[in-house]
Amino acid sequence: MITIKEAKTKSELKDFIKFSFELYKDNPYWVPPIISEELESFDKTKNPAFENAEAKFYLAYKNGKIVGKTAAIINWQEVNQQQKRKVRFGWFDVIDDIEVSKALLEKVYEYGREHNLEYVEGPMGFSNLDKVGVLTEGFDQIGTMITWYNHPYYMEHFEKLGFTIEKEYRESTFTMNNVDPAHFQKASQLIKRRYGLKAVNFSSTKEVMPYVDKMFELFNATYSKLASFVAISDVQIEYFKKKYISFINPEYIKFIMDKDDNMIAFTIVMPSFSEALIKAKGKLFPFGFIHLLRARKKSKDVVFYLIGIDPEYQNKGVTAIIFEEFHKVFTKNNIVNCIRTPELEENHAMNNLWKNFDPKIHKRRKTYKKDL
């Protein structure tokens, strides 16, 4: 018999997190989270996502043993402002037993119906800065710290339970060595002169901080037309500053400004922390933080985390300036692989950014939808 229990206490939420460690303990491609960081993201007093959202965390038990988990999430900004009467589900992990998936998802449906919502979609987090999608291709590829990994049977469970595909994402890898730097260096100089633009580079985290608010203003403007977008609030921006900026090598943050010092483009690239997180095994202490600090400076793979270009400057060659700057620092740091985070298939402008680098799609993922 399958029993579903809501995880409320710190101990129960730890069980919620640690179930994934058990499920993937022999899988070399799963990248474990830092347990304390996951706990903080589930804490209503610490994660500003709860400013506009609420969530319940469910554990499935069979014969006294945890066999699955999921979170049911309502983003009220999405529901009330965008009129998307949706309940989300995320952090979904189960053994290969469709009855466990069914029992967990029934709790999500119940939660949505209690609030008069019309459909469920997932896997997805609280906002656009969270992980998204169930992996459907690329199970033999190592994950990243900002994506979920899962077993191949997940999509089979969703489809058998009546879900349909809602959104599709691609992930790709490329190297700047595939392109002669002269290709974008010449274009970069031309675009700078034509529009009066300049690149802003950094050598310390302290130098970056004054620009972060402007960056997220531009982020909201850049992605506002996408159907899945929910704007990032000021409180969430402050949380992002504290939680993530210090982990990013400041050399990998690039801003493009116009002649009046208005930000018209930004890119944040993160060192790949995948190998470091596998070594850390979910804990910062005693040695986990050492692996992360080493990766911050010495990782030969990088992840293109966020990129945004003012709509007025899209299709005007601004990316040539960005790529010129990254080519310099990647060459200096002997970077081997560039990894793209999930991009919506419908986001053609973003997908076209990488076409000259001969990107190889190595993973695909989807979100699934079902009417309530």
Question: What's the rounded Cα separation, in Å, for the pair 186 and 303?
Answer: 25
Residue range 68-79: average pLDDT? 96
pLDDT confidence of residue 227: 60
User: Hey, what CATH class is 176-335 in?
Assistant: alpha beta
- Tokens describing residue 308: 């945004």
Q: Is the pLDDT of residue 257 over 70?
A: yes
Give the residue with greater pLDDT, 88 vs 317: 88
| Tokens matching residue 6 | 């809501």
Chain segment 310-360, per-residue pLDDT in tens: 989 988 889 889 989 999 999 899 998 999 989 888 877 666 767 777 889
Least confident among 100-109, 186-195, 283-292: 283-292
Residue 183 CB contacts under 8 Å (≥ 6 apart), including other chains:
356
Share of the chain above pLDDT 90, in %: 66
pLDDT tens readout for residues 155-169: 999 999 999 999 999
Residue 192 has pLDDT above 80, yes or no: yes
pLDDT recorded at residue 109: 98
Task: Report, as an integer, the average pLDDT of 279-290.
Answer: 89
Could you tell me where in the chain the CATH 3.40.630.30 domains are found? 2-170
The whole-number pLDDT of residue 154 equals: 98
Q: Does residue 231 have a pLDDT over 80?
A: no
Average predicted confidence (pLDDT) for the chain:
91
**Region of residue 315 (phi > 0: left; psi between -120 and 50: alpha; otherwise: beta):** left
- Better-predicted residue by pLDDT, 90 or 187: 90
pLDDT tens digits along 237-246: 888 877 778 7
pTM over 0.85: yes
Q: What is the pLDDT of residues 27-57, one digit of tens each?
A: 999 999 999 999 999 999 999 889 889 999 9
CATH of 2-170, one of 3.30.70.1400, 2.30.30.830, 3.40.630.30, 3.40.50.800: 3.40.630.30
Secondary structure of the chain in HEC code, one letter for each residue:
CEEEEECCCHHHHHHHHHHHHHHCCCCCCCCCCCHHHHHHHCCCCCCHHHHCEEEEEEEEEECCEEEEEEEEEEEHHHHHHCCCCEEEEEEEEECCCHHHHHHHHHHHHHHHHHCCCCEEEECECCCCCCCECEEEECCCCCCCCCCCCCCCHHHHHHHHCCCEEEEEEEEEEECHHHCCCHHHHHHHHHHHHHHCCEEECCCCHHHHHHHHHHHHHHHHHHHCCCCCCCCCCHHHHHHHHHHHHHHCCHHHEEEEECCCCCEEEEEEEEECCHHHHHHHCCCCCCCHHHHHHHHHHHCCEEEEEEEEECHHHCCCCHHHHHHHHHHHHHHHCCCCEEEECCEECCCHHHHHCCHHHCCEEEEEEEEEEEEC
Q: What is the pLDDT of residue 354?
A: 74
pLDDT of 219 over the 80 cut: yes
pLDDT band at 305 (very low <50, low <70, confident <90, very high): confident
Name the phi and psi angles at 78, rounded to 5: -65, -45
Query: Does residue 152 carry a pLDDT above 90?
Result: yes
Q: Which residue has the higher pLDDT, 206 or 225?
A: 206
Residue 226 in this model has a pLDDT that exceeds 70: no
**Residue 84 token pair:** 């998307």
Q: Give the number of other CB atoms < 10 A from CB of residue 149.
A: 22
Percentage of the chain exceeding pLDDT 70: 97
Is the CB of residue 97 less than 8 Å from the CB of residue 82? no
Residue 228, pLDDT > 70, answer no
